[in-house]
Structure 1
Amino acid sequence: MHRPPFPLLTAAILFLGTACGHRTAAQRDATLATDTVNLSYTVEEAPEWTRLFDRTSGWFGADGIFSIPLHGVDTPQSTQGSQTLLVFSDTMIGEIEDGELQPGSVMINNSVAILDGTAPDGNRIRFFWDSDSAGKPASVFVPETPQAQPGEYYWLGDGFVNRELSNTTYVFGYRIRHTAAAVFPFEEVGNTLIAIPAGSQPPFKNHRQMDTPFFIRDSVDSRNNGSFGAGILVNTADAGTPAPDGYVYVYGVRGPKKHVLVARVRPKEFEQFAAWHFWDGAGWNTDIYQAAPIADRASNELSITPLPDGRYALVFQIDGIGTTVGLRIGLSPAGPFGPIKELWDCPEVGQKGLFVYNAKAHFNLSEKGELLISYNVNSFDFLSDIQKTPNLYRPRFIRVKFL
């Protein structure tokens, strides 16, 4: 477990103690409004959530895992008595017996689950995928937009329920195709918005798909490409956020330095792509190519959530597939953001050939005053290792407690 360095933690406690004991509320708020450094917290494993995805029949592994409260309120424990949609990217379907993967397992490109309530109860979660004409497992979402090409598939980004557009659930889909690269032989070629009508049930046969202009293509060097949908903050009163300004903030990641970009749009205009504006470093601009970084060293999946003190937490895997879960403190949904805090050194990296990636928070599943965070585990020798350790490919969870 990685705790904050002792001087930082002590400084944070002294800072908060001074603010609470000798300053007025206005003075405390004024200090926090400019502080992107000090934060008092502890971090621990959340084994009950990790165990929830340790399965031996049907769905037994995936990466991705974004959580979407289906009643549209995204605050801690807000889905108590309601449901959360979980979306996954590459997914393993099959059977495990006595720790060994049985013949016939398959990988599909995306799947979903529905969790009733906020407890990690194996009896209250159901996993879903589609079936092809032969009855074999198939992805829930398959590219079918005008720009889609044969052989492409979707990895899924973040999503939310838009209470101002008939409670439609929106999920970003990245169009992916295979390449001849020796390492990571795939590339993103387009960005899609998937719209699921309210009341639709998995595998969501009545969903819509829209090509978007939110894929940034660098004509000189494809390594500098970028895409939006890595994380979403619904900063509205309907969503329950503490300081709503009425916008939906959608985050993107671009280039090898994993620069974080941000766009915003009113919920009613979410499908009106010309109404989107991008932060250019000084203001909000309609030109996506003027989008300026608000942070770097992030991961292609991330989250931003309000902190209990009114600031914002950007959670990510440091350097994309680095060994550590990181957090930056922001003063607004668009920053500025402070230095990286190293929350957790992922122990799985110590196992030969494994890597970790795409950490993010799950706000509606968190307890009050806490932040539930997942990260993904995978192998550089996947086909071999999944046979030997079939349960390796699934999310792990930690819990940040704010002091």
Structure 2
Amino acid sequence: MKKFAVYCLLFCFALNLQTKAQTAKQPVNLTDLKFTVETAPEWNALLKRQAGWFGGDGIYSIPLNGVENKPARANDQVLFIFSDSMIGKLENGTMAPGYKMIHNTVAYLKGNKPVDAQMKFSWDTDKQGTAESVFIPRTIQTEINDYYWLGDGFVNQELNNAIYIFGYRVRNVGTGAFGFKEVGNTLIKIPAGSQPPYMDLKQMDTPFYLTDKNGDIGSFGAGIYVNTAKAGAPKPDGYIYVYGVRGIGKNLLVARVLPKDFEKFDQWTFYDGTNWVNDMSKVADVTDNVSNELSLTALPDGRYALIFQVGGMSTNVGMRIGATPYGPFGPVIKVWDCRPDLEEKTFVVYNAKAHPSLSAPGELLISYNINSVDFIPDLMKHPNLYRPRFIRMKIASSIK
């Protein structure tokens, strides 16, 4: 009987192992997600403003408590960072004289609700009191007239709660709507508790700018996923995942680093499609057709939602489902058609992303930017056109 019992135990153990192995081999569904989408008019109204900051793009939201993967609480603060921004006043349905575009601004929101009284915009000023960008490149590699557009950022809880933001050094190289070029990648560090215009910030040139023989460029900082327990990640592995975009195909790149090593650029590794390697030149294109700003968010069922504007600049907000923070990623799933926002043929849509710290459980608040290739003439007719729009994606359940 004892021998029979041992055999039974061994058989059950083997069967359990086999079941676990079969379960582990089951492929993750990367093609289906049940959801509904609607506009978020209260968030749209928050950024439809008549004076001060009245337009901008490049919106990222950074919860200052460092908890990236859960909604901010009523007393928490969320930092918004914008790239090119319009400062001035609107009168009689147009821009009043004296308006100015600056290259970046910030805003602070108390809580996670779109309450105008709880949101304060900030920018710098010059000696004459004229609006100026908050972040101006001052690194060794900076050339005169370079300016910053901003990538994603986060609060690093392992490095004294400093805020880290990627800055793309941009240079004007011609005229017209696309007369600019990204020329370098910078990391901006803001000490915890510092207030705009952040006189004690630090700027570091990074090696995370890529060029190849075909003239394609790439850069990291398009999105950040903080996969740590302190950040509220559901399946933490302790790494910070930083996403890059390369070439006209808008190919997605992935790097990762431990929070404590974030400033040690030689400790970063890059996904080559199979392994994590130190050589950035071997980084793989893990998917394509994304946008230069994007987001990755954990879904309730253990998968990941990559949110972006399809192809960088199109009328469709898209999503790819990922099995892990670095893929594989499934096909493009259309989330939203932005064409109703395009009042003029000259309007364009770009750079969609999700804001998990501003989202209710089971939902994703998503923004996308509206701009014009005939910028000032269209702004004179539609002075509130140049601002993010918001939609709300409600995740009903997943198809497994």
Structure 1: 5+ residue runs without aligned partners?
Answer: 1-25
Distance 1:183 1:127 in 2: 26
Aligned to 2:218: 226
What's the CA shift for 1:85? Answer: 0.4
Tell me which amino acid in the other structure corresponds to 2:356: F
Residue 332 of structure 1: SS of its match in structure 2? coil
Distance 1:180 1:285 in 2: 37
Distance 1:349 1:295 in 2: 28
Aligned to 1:275: 267
What's the CA shift for 1:75? Answer: 2.5
In the alignment, structure 1 residue 250 sits paired with structure 2 residue 242: yes
Moved over 4 A (4+): 26-33
Distance 1:79 1:156 in 2: 26
Among 62, 67, 87, the alignment partner of 1:93 is: 87
Among 289, 310, 318, the alignment partner of 1:326 is: 318
In the alignment, structure 1 residue 61 sits paired with structure 2 residue 55: yes
Residue 385 of structure 1: SS of its match in structure 2? helix
Distance 1:183 1:113 in 2: 26
Tell me which amino acid in the other structure corresponds to 1:230: A
Distance 1:365 1:28 in 2: 38
Distance 1:239 1:306 in 2: 12
CA contact (8 A) 1:32 1:311 kept: no
In the alignment, structure 1 residue 40 sits paired with structure 2 residue 37: no
What's the CA shift for 1:98? Answer: 2.9
Structure 2: 5+ residue runs without aligned partners?
Answer: 1-19
CA contact (8 A) 1:43 1:344 kept: yes
Aligned to 1:385: 378
Distance 2:130 2:22 in 1: 59
CA contact (8 A) 1:73 1:79 kept: no
Bigger mean CA offset, 190-199 vs 78-87: 78-87
Aligned length: 377
CA contact (8 A) 1:91 1:110 kept: yes
Distance 1:390 1:153 in 2: 24
Tell me which amino acid in the other structure corresponds to 1:111: T
Aligned to 1:235: 227
What's the CA shift for 1:350? Answer: 5.4
Aligned to 2:8: none
What's the CA shift for 1:182? Answer: 4.7
TM-score normalised by L of structure 1: 0.91
Distance 1:32 1:398 in 2: 33
CA contact (8 A) 1:69 1:160 kept: yes
What's the CA shift for 1:289? Answer: 1.1
Aligned to 2:17: none
In the alignment, structure 1 residue 348 sits paired with structure 2 residue 341: yes
Tell me which amino acid in the other structure corresponds to 1:354: F
In the alignment, structure 1 residue 71 sits paired with structure 2 residue 65: yes
What's the CA shift for 1:32? Answer: 8.0
Distance 2:36 2:321 in 1: 15
Distance 1:66 1:193 in 2: 15
CA contact (8 A) 1:69 1:79 kept: no
Residue 360 of structure 2: SS of its match in structure 1? coil
Residue 64 of structure 1: SS of its match in structure 2? coil
Tell me which amino acid in the other structure corresponds to 1:221: N
Distance 1:104 1:79 in 2: 38
CA contact (8 A) 2:94 2:379 kept: no
CA contact (8 A) 2:191 2:201 kept: yes
Q: How far does the alpha carbon of each residue in 1:80-129 deviate from its partner, in whole angstroms, 9 at most, with x for none?
A: 32000000000000001232210000000000000000000001000000
**Aligned positions of 1:177-326 closer than 5 A:** 177-180=171-174, 182-218=176-212, 220-222=213-215, 224-326=216-318
Structure-2 change in CA distance of 1:115 and 1:193 (3 Å): same
Residue 51 of structure 1: SS of its match in structure 2? helix
What's the CA shift for 1:294? Answer: 1.3
Bigger mean CA offset, 245-254 vs 172-181: 172-181
In the alignment, structure 1 residue 364 sits paired with structure 2 residue 357: yes
What's the CA shift for 1:202? Answer: 1.1
CA contact (8 A) 1:278 1:287 kept: yes
What's the CA shift for 1:295? Answer: 1.2
Distance 1:266 1:33 in 2: 28
CA contact (8 A) 2:245 2:252 kept: yes
Bigger mean CA offset, 346-355 vs 42-51: 346-355
Root-mean-square deviation over aligned CA pairs: 1.7
Among 348, 353, 368, the alignment partner of 1:375 is: 368
Distance 1:90 1:122 in 2: 21
Distance 1:32 1:380 in 2: 47
What's the CA shift for 1:362? Answer: 0.2
Aligned to 2:102: 108
Residue 281 of structure 2: SS of its match in structure 1? helix
CA contact (8 A) 1:241 1:306 kept: yes
Distance 1:112 1:202 in 2: 8
What's the CA shift for 1:183? Answer: 4.7
CA contact (8 A) 2:69 2:298 kept: no
Tell me which amino acid in the other structure corresponds to 1:362: H
CA contact (8 A) 1:358 1:375 kept: yes
